[in-house]
Structure formats: C-alpha cells, structure tokens
Amino acid sequence: MATEGNVMELGLIGLGRMGGNMRERLRRAGHTVVGYDRNPDVSDVGSLKELVERLSAPRAVWVMVPVGDPTRATVQELADLLDEGDVVVDGGNSRFTDDQKHADILAAQGVGYVDCGVSGGIWGLEVGYGLMAGGSKQDVERLMPIFDTLRPEGPREEGFVHAGGVGAGHYAKMVHNGIEYGLMQAYGEGYELLAASGIVDDIHGTLKAWSRGTVVRSWLLDLLVRALEQDPSLAEIEGYVEDSGEGRWTVEEAIRNSVPAPVITAALFARFESRQDDSPAMKAVAALRNQFGGHAVKAAGPTSGAGDTRS
C-alpha cells in the first residue's frame, strides 16, 4: 500500500454505476486505482489475480459487487490471493450479519477487513459519498486517504464516520436506508395529497418553495423538485418501486430489538403493494363484504362488476 502524501494504491472490484464513478473520483485525486470488472470493456485487468499482482504490498482492495453470493465469492477468492497485512473493504450493501463471516475468512489469512456503507448514488462522483466504516482502528486508519477522497469536501466528520467494529458500517448504512424509505414515502404521500385535493394549483412550485427556509428542506426534496421539472405530473413513471434489501433488514432488526418502526415499515409495505397487480388480502376482504352484506364485488378480469348496490 504505497502512499505518498495523501495518495495511495487501491484495487477496486466491481466497476458498475457506483464502482466506476468511485474509480474516477479517486483517480482525479491522484490515487492509483487498479479496477477489475467481469466486463472487460471497463476492467483494467483480466482477473483478480492480476489485480492483486499489480498492487504493492501491503495492499488495499475495495469490493463493490452485488451483495450475497457475489460478495462472498469475491471475499473468498481474495482470501486466497492476498497476503498477511493486506486489507479488504466491502463497500457494497451487504447485510451486516455477513461482515463478521467475511472478516473471519480474511483474518485466517492475516488479511484485515473493513465494511463501509456508501451513500450518494450517481451524484457521488461530483459531490462525494457519505461513508460509514466498521472495523479495527488500524484497518480504518490506513484507508483514510481513500475515505478522505471519496467523502464530500468539508469537515471529515460530516461525511465519514468510523461507526464501530466489524459490521457497524453496514449497520449504519442499513439504518440510513431504512430512514431513506420513510423520508421518501413521507414526501410521496404529501405529493399525492396535494395532487388529489385540487386546492393547490402549483404543486411543483409549492415543492420548490420548500427548498429554502422550511422545516422539510432536504436533498430528497430537491430531487423531487428536479423530477417534477422533467415530468410535471410524473406521467411517464409507473408507481412501481423495487426494494433492495436494506429496508427489509431494517424492519427485521427493529423486530429483533423490539423497536417500534411503524413509519419505516409502512414505507416498505407500500413498495410491496406497488408491485402487486392484485392483492390477495383485498380479495379476501372483498369476499367477506360480499358474504355478509351482499356487497357487489368487482369481478376479476376484463369484465368488471357493478358498484356497491347495498341500499
């Protein structure tokens, strides 16, 4: 890990939207980044082995691949390739429960491990990424030149934290994303109510006017304003929302810790609902109303039933 001034060498595995941008941001700052991706068009080397060989010991390798099996496999392969004194960072959105396993696999080879939650999306290239690291003090400190380049400019503590031991970085990122679900849903509900009521004429202008001075000003609000500038009634977007794990894990953790989390959970369930063509639960409710009240039901399929005719 040759460092000169504030620059150092880094192996970076996974050059998708996030990893590719991170490589660029690091290189602009003078770091030497050797990137690997399965896609040879973007990869600097042909294999992990070659990546490791291109780095000077003690090496630092940042993993930025999909969570679960791909990350596990990468960590396992790195454990075989790296040497004592090297360090691996998992910057993906791994579940925090994976971290100690990964740390153990690497520790058996004398390789250090840091988990690092990375927030900021496609804006991180220019703005910098919010970083939450977990691991030993020693492992975290040797990576500071990388963290300091990836994080936004300004005071270090406003864009980076060494949150705790192994797993703490991903835990912090998980909670961050759970909060994110709640924030987005709150704006979504407010937007829908403005649109439904017909009392506010200028919805985009209203959201934009919240940009400064108000209690609800935020980056997400700015993005919603931006989206409405591009598509004033969101006519081109379907209300279909994926979820990528952290929201579910946050709710599972809330349950494990007996923490009430009604807002984050409601936001998660709203995403589930958004992806359902029809709801079996509501079929059951409709069936029940029909059973006790003779309330008309809507027939499934092309021909729809009559309205409620109960007098």
Q: Does 121 bind a second copy (CB under 8 A)?
A: yes
Which of positions 9-38 make contact with a second copy (CB under 8 A)? Answer: 14, 16-19
Closest separation in Å from C-beta 66 to a second copy: 7
Q: Which of 11, 91, 124, 135 binds a second copy (CB under 8 A)?
A: 124
Query: How many residues of this chain bind a second copy (CB under 8 A)?
Result: 152
**Gap between the Cα atoms of 273 and 279, Å rounded:** 8
Pairing outcome for strands 130-134 and 160-164: parallel
The two tokens of residue 100 are: 């100690």
CB atoms within 10 A of CB 241: 16
Query: Which of 5, 280, 302, 306 is in the footprint of a second copy by CB under 8 A?
Result: 280
Does residue 281 bind a second copy (CB under 8 A)? yes
Which is nearest to 176 in space by CA: 130, 223, 216? Answer: 130
Q: Which of 79, 131, 140, 143 binds a second copy (CB under 8 A)?
A: 131
Q: Which residues of 291-308 are buried (b: 16+ CB within 10 A; e: fewer)?
A: eeeeeeeeeeeeeeeeee
According to the binding rule CB under 8 A, does residue 210 interact with a second copy?
yes
Q: Are 44 and 61 in contact (CB under 8 A)?
A: no
Catalytic-labelled residue, pool 173, 208, 236, 242: 173
Residue with tokens 């075989």: 80
Query: Binding residue for a second copy (CB under 8 A) from 157, 246, 302, 306?
Result: 157
Beta-carbon count within 10 A of 185 CB: 19
Q: Given the rule CB under 8 A, which of 5-13, 80-88, 103-111, 208-216 is the region that contacts a second copy?
A: 208-216
Q: Is 201 in the site for a second copy (CB under 8 A)?
A: yes
Catalytic residue check, 49: no
Question: 24, 50, 77, 180: which one is catalytic?
Answer: 180
Binding mask 232-271 for a second copy (x = CB under 8 A): --xxxxxxxxx-x---x-xxxxxx-xxxxxxxxxxxxxxx
Helix, strand, or coil here: 118?
strand
Shortest Cβ distance from residue 172 to a second copy (Å)?
A: 5
- Tell me which H or E stretch contains 236: none
290: contact with a second copy by CB under 8 A? yes
Site for a second copy in 47-66 (CB under 8 A): 64-66
Annotation marks residue 242 as catalytic: no
Q: Is 310 in the site for a second copy (CB under 8 A)?
A: yes
Taking the least distance from each CB to a second copy, the nearer of 5 and 240 is: 240
CA distance 180 to 271: 13
Instruction: Rank residues 77 and 180 by Cβ distance to a second copy and give the closer one.
Output: 180
Interface pick for a second copy out of 43, 109, 119, 136 (rule CB under 8 A): 119
Is residue 48 a contact partner of residue 81, using CB atoms and an 8 Å limit?
yes
Looking at the DSSP bridge assignments, the partners of residue 36 are: 13
- Long-range residue pairs from 23-28, CB within 8 A, at least 24 positions apart, any chain: 24/125, 25/124, 25/125, 25/128, 25/149, 25/150, 26/146, 26/149, 26/150
Contacts of a second copy in 168-197 (CB under 8 A) = 168, 171-172, 175-197
Residues assigned a catalytic role: 173, 180
